[in-house]
Structures are given as C-alpha cells and as structure tokens.
Amino acid sequence: MARGLLYALAGAAIGAAAARAAYAALTRTQGGGGDPASRWTRKNHRGEPITLLEGPAFVAWASAAAALAPGRPARARAAALLAGAVSGALGAYDDLYGTTSSKGFKGHLSALARGEVTSGAVKILGIGATGLAAAALVSDGPADTLVNGAVVAGAANLANLFDLRPGRAIKVGLLTGGPLLAAAVAGDSPATAALAAVPLGAAAALLPDDLGERAMLGDAGANALGALLGLAAVTKLGRPGRLVLLGTVAALTAASEKISFTKVIAGNKVLNRLDLLGRRPADA
C-alpha cells in the first residue's frame, strides 16, 4: 500500500503541475481565454465567450505525464501516451472543425452511410482504433484486446457527453476515477495508481477555471480524460469487472441518444447539488 500511495501522490502532483503550466503557457501565446479573435474561443451555455485551451493543456501534459509516471513497463507507457494523446488530438480536430449538422453516434454514422464523412465520424472511428491499439499493448490475447479497447474508446466518448456544463466532466472523472485510484492504492498496484492519479491530478488542477467559466475541456480534454481513466480501469479490473464496466458505458452511451443527461441531473436533488457545487449562480 505504501508504494501505491507514493506513486499516486507523485502521479497526481506531476499531472497537476504540468497541466497548470501548460494551460498558463497556452493562454499567454494564443490570445488568452475568451478572446473572440482566438480560434479556440467558443460560447458557453450562457452565451459568453470561453476558451477551449484547457483541453489541449490537459491532453499534452496528462498524456506525457502518464507515459512518464514511475513503476510502469514500456508497453504500458506507450499505451498511455497513445490513448491520451491520440484521442485528445481527434477531439481537438472535432473542436476546431466540427459542425452541429449531425449529433451522436446515430447521427454521425447515418451521415457516413450516406457518404458524408463528418468530423464526428472521423473521431468515432479514430478513437475506436486508438482504443484497440492502446489495449493491444496491455492485454492478454484478442478477446481481452477487444473488451479493453471498447472500454477505453467508450470511456473517452462518454466523458465528452458530460462536458456540457462547467466542471461537470471533471467532476464525473473525479467521482469515477477516485474509487479506482483508492482501489489501486489499497491493493498496492503502483502502476495503476500512477496511471489513474495523473489525469485526476491534472483535471483537479484545471477545475477552478472550468467552474469559473473561464475555460472548458472541450472534446479534446474530455476524450483524453475518459481514455486515460478507461485505460487505468482495464489494467486494474479482472475480466468480470471489465465486462460490467463495458456494459455500463455502452448503456449510458445508448441512453444519451434518447435522454438528456442535463435534464436527468437537474431532476435529481443529489446529482443537481453536486453539479452546481462550485459553479457561478444562475443569475451571475
């Protein structure tokens, strides 16, 4: 347990420091948060300008830190770099060039069936391939690779579905990744502890700007956060646990095609309170 805790603390500290430094550097060089002239500026749910630079900052350094985290074999390091960096890059492509003409898996795949290649379809197929490639580096055989790859890709997509309100995607990441990190520490699994701690530390460090509505993860950051936590999960859980996780991710993704997560959260007192925690008041 002592080694697991040490690696978790080191991973979280490295992830947090790197993400904050990267975010500060990017906002200085790219016109700052909320600059209407920046290609990374969008309008949030209030209609106010907000920067997406939080996402690239998270992708670059969370991926690098996860790959450099101590106690992990070379193949696991490569898997972390691949899962985080490539899924984040595909998300950034969708952030910059995506349109709203097609939404969700069904919308993008339907457009693809008509011969229209949307940025979302590129991201879906690309993250699927990335998940399989990363999983192949840490799995035992084809069956495990398929399950693990689906978990990594599914988690990347699911995290992005929550990035619709300030801090929500990060809170979901912390609430789901926290127990995984605790289990890795308690089970003295230093490699998994380090891998889970890096994205959690980086996300926590960026949370104040997200809650303050100065920045958001966007597809880039949310995809990378989900992919890295998914990878950490498949390195810790046994096959039954991974199958349950895959089923949960698939069910939530399917539900998102018909149900608004925002409405579900708003209609539940506990979830709504967690969602509003730390956010600006509605009339601010």
3-state secondary structure the chain: CHHHHHHHHHHHHHHHHHHHHHHHHHHHHCCCCCCCCCCCEEECCCCCEEECCHHHHHHHHHHHHHHHCCCCCHHHHHHHHHHHHHHHHHHHHHHHHCCCCCCHHHHHHHHHHCCCCCHHHHHHHHHHHHHHHHHHCCCCCHHHHHHHHHHHHHHHHHHHHCCCCCCHHHHHHHHHHHHHHHHHHHCCCHHHHHHHHHHHHHHHHHHHHHHCCCECCHHHHHHHHHHHHHHHHHHHCCHHHHHHHHHHHHHHHHHHCCCCHHHHHHCCHHHHHHHHCCCCCCCC
| Confidence at residue 94, expressed as pLDDT on a 0 to 100 scale | 87
| Confidence at residue 28, expressed as pLDDT on a 0 to 100 scale | 81
Q: How confident is the chain (284 residues) per 10-residue block, as mean pLDDT?
A: 76 86 83 61 82 92 80 84 94 81 59 64 88 94 94 95 93 94 83 87 94 92 96 91 95 90 93 92 64
Distance CA 204, CA 104 (A): 27
Q: Looking only at Cα atoms, what is the longest distance across the chain? A: 56
What pLDDT, in 10s, does the model give residues 21-35?
888 888 887 655 555
Q: What is the dihedral of CA 41, 37, 49, 95, to 10 degrees?
A: -20
Distance CA 176, CA 153 (A): 16
The CA angle 250-75-249, to the nearest 5 degrees, is 10
Distance CA 184, CA 173 (A): 16
What is the CA 215 to chain-centroid distance, rounded?
A: 15
| Confidence at residue 81, expressed as pLDDT on a 0 to 100 scale | 92
Find out whether 197 and 15 touch, Cβ atoms under 8 Å: yes
Distance CA 224, CA 119 (A): 17
Distance CA 86, CA 137 (A): 15
What pLDDT, in 10s, does the model give residues 83-97?
999 999 999 988 888
Find out whether 14 and 52 touch, Cβ atoms under 8 Å: no
- Residue in this structure with the two tokens 């580096």, named with its chain if needed: 137
Tokens encoding 190: 């230093």
| Confidence at residue 41, expressed as pLDDT on a 0 to 100 scale | 85
| Confidence at residue 105, expressed as pLDDT on a 0 to 100 scale | 57
pTM, full prediction: 0.90
